[in-house]
Structure 1
C-alpha cells in the first residue's frame, strides 16, 4: 500500500516516484465519482527525473518521444530522430512512425484505451504516458504530443511535459477534453519485462506480436514470458 508523500522505489528503467494521488474523469471533461480501482491509487503522484526536451517543432513529437526513449536508457535527443521518423515529410504520420522506431530498440509499445483512469494508474505505477492532445482555442487548434508525468486530486489537475513547458498543469476536465478531442491516442514505451499496471493481456500480447514482426524476437520472447509469469 502506498503512503502519502512517500518515495517509491523505482522499477527497472522506470522513474523515481514521489507518491500521492489519483482520480478518474468522464470523457465529457466533467468530474466524476472515483472508480474502485482509482480509489486505491495514491492521492498525489509526481514522476521525478523524467528527461525533458524543450521544443514545439513537429507537433512537439520528437521532444516527447526522445524523452520516452531516454527514460528507457536509450541515448537520444530530438535531433537524432529526424531521419528515423522521416521528418519533415512524414510529420502527419508520427503516431505510426514513433511506435515503429521504439520497437527497433527492442521496446514494447503498449497502447492505452483512452481512459483517464488507465493513464493515471500507469503514472501511479511509475510509468510516464505519452499522449496526443489538442492545443489551442475553439477557433484554432493544433495537435501536440506530450508526456503525462503527474497528477493531484486535491488540486484537480494533471502535469504534462509538453512543448516549451515542463510540468504544465491542466485540470482533469481540460486534459480529458483535449486528449479525447485528439483521438485519445496514448502509449507506454516499456522494456519487455515491464508489465503495465492493470495490464490488459490481449493488448500486451498484440503489442508483443508487433515487436516480433519488427524483428525483435528475443525481446518479444522476454515480453511473452513476463506475461506468462504474471
Structure 2
C-alpha cells in the first residue's frame, strides 16, 4: 500500500495520468446530468474518525476508521497485527472484511456502482473503498474511507493515507475505484444493513458474521439473521442460517420454527425438511419428525435423495423400536 515519501510525491502525477488514460467517467457524468431520485446534492460525514496511516498500513488505518465510528476499540496498530501481511506488504480484501467481523461489526459488500456509494453516505455510513491509484500496468493499491460527496462540484471527500480530508474529483474516484474492481464495503452493528445491499451480499455477510461471532455472541448472530430476513423474507439461506444459529445456541424450539418456516416457504428444499425432521426428533416430537422426513424424501431434490431416505429410515426404525412391547 502507498506509504513511502517518494510515492506520495509522485501520486499527483499518477492520478492525473490515470484519469487521462481512464476514458470517460460514465457514472460520474450520469449522476451529474440526472441525479437519481432521493439523492441529496451534498453529504459530508465530518465526525468520522481519522487515523493517519504508517508505512504500508493503509488497510489497518482505514479499517480502524470505520470501526471507531461504531465505537469499537480497535487501533491501527492492533488491527495491523491482525490483518497486515508482511510478505505482501499489504492487506488482502478478505482480511479487511474478516477483521471487521472479528470486532463485532457486520461487513457487507456494496453493489459496484458509484450511486450505491453515495446513497450509503447519505444514510450516514462511511464507505471503505479499494483503489488503484496508479495505472493498470503499474498498480498502487490503496484503502481509503469515503466520507462525503458534492454532486454540483463533482467532488468526493475521503479519509486517506495521511490526509484527514482529501478532496478528490468524482471522476478520479470512479477511475481509481473501478480499476481496482469496484470493491467497497460498509461495516455496521448487528441488526443494521447498508441501504443498497443486495440479497447475495447480505447472505454472505450474515453467514460470515455468524462464523466469527459464534459461539460467544450467538445473540448478535441471531439479530443479524432476523434483521436480514426483514428485508429478504423469502431467502432460504437466511432462514436456514437462522435455524442453524438458534440450534447451535441450544434453542431447539426456536430452531425448529425457523426450519419449519424455511420448509413451508421452500417446499422443494430437502435440507430444510431434513433439518426440521432432525430437530423435531430431538425434541421428542416423533410424528412431526416423521412427517418432515417424508416431505424431504418427496421433495424431488436428487442431490439429497439418499440422505433424506437414510434419515427417514432411521426415524422409522426409532419409532418402531420405541413402540415395540417391552
- Asked if Structure 1 and Structure 2 have the same fold, meaning a TM-score greater than 0.5 normalized by the shorter chain, the answer is yes
TM-score normalised over the length of structure 1 = 0.80
Segment drifting more, 158-167 vs 212-221: 212-221
Q: Deviations over 1:109-160 (max 9, x none)?
A: 1001221011111001000000011124677441110000000011111111
Unpaired segments ≥5 residues, structure 1: 1-26
Does structure 1 residue 29 correspond to structure 2 residue 25? yes
The alignment partner of 2:181 has SS state of coil
Instruction: Determine which structure has greater relative contact order: mean sequence separation of CA pairs < 8 Å that are 6+ residues apart, divided by chain length.
Output: 1
- Report whether the alignment pairs 1:173 with 2:171: yes
**Are 1:109 and 2:107 counterparts?**
yes
Number of aligned residue pairs: give it.
204
Change in CA separation of 1:154 and 1:90 when aligned onto 2, cut-off 3 Å: same
TM-score of the two chains, using structure 2 as the length reference = 0.58
In the other structure, the counterpart of 2:42 is 44
Distance 1:100 1:93, change over 3 A: same
Q: Is the 8 A contact 1:28 1:176 kept in 2?
A: no
Instruction: Tell me if the contact between 1:59 and 1:144 (Cα under 8 Å) persists in the aligned partners.
Output: no
Change (3 A) 1:193 1:150: same
Contact 2:110 2:196 in 1 (8 A): no
TM-superposed CA distance for 1:205, in Å, is 1.9
Write out per-residue CA displacement over residues 73-116 of structure 1, whole angstroms, 9 at most, x where no aligned residue. Answer: 11122111222125423544421112112111221110012210
* 75, 98, 101: which one aligns with 2:73: 75
Describe the shift of the 1:156–1:227 C-alpha distance in structure 2 as closer, same or farther (beyond 3 A): same
Distance 2:155 2:146 in 1: 11
Moved more, 156-165 or 50-59: 50-59
Match of 1:128 among 126, 134, 148: 126
Cα deviation for residue 54 of structure 1 reads: 0.9
CA distance in 2, matches of 1:140, 1:65: 25
Given candidates 53, 56, 63, the residue that maps to 1:55 is 53
Q: Which runs of 5+ in 2 are unaligned?
A: 1-22, 232-326
Q: Partners in 2 of 1:167 and 1:80 — Cα distance? A: 24
Distance 1:135 1:36 in 2: 28
- RMSD of aligned C-alpha atoms? 2.3
1:204 aligned to which of 202, 205, 218: 202
Residue from 92, 95, 100 that aligns with 2:93: 95
- Residues 107, 219 of structure 1: 8 Å contact kept: no
Q: What SS does structure 1 have at the residue aligned with 2:97?
A: helix
Q: What CA distance in whole angstroms lies between the structure 2 residues aligned with 1:86 and 1:173?
A: 30
Task: Find runs of 4+ consecutive structure 1 residues off by over 6 angstroms.
Answer: none
Query: 1:191: which partner in 2?
Result: 189
Per the TM alignment, residue 33 of structure 1 is displaced from its structure 2 partner at its CA by 2.8
Higher strand share: 1
- Structure 1's 28 and 190: CA in aligned 2 closer, same or farther, altered over 3 A? farther
Judging changes above 3 Å, is the alpha-carbon distance between structure 1 residues 195 and 139 closer, same or farther for their aligned structure 2 residues?
closer
The structure with more radius of gyration: 2
Q: In the TM superposition, what is the alpha-carbon distance from 1:198 to its structure 2 partner?
A: 3.3
Cα deviation per residue 1:174-221 (whole Å; 9 max; x = unaligned)?
Answer: 110100111111111111111211332332122101111224343221
CA contact (8 A) 1:158 1:169 kept: yes
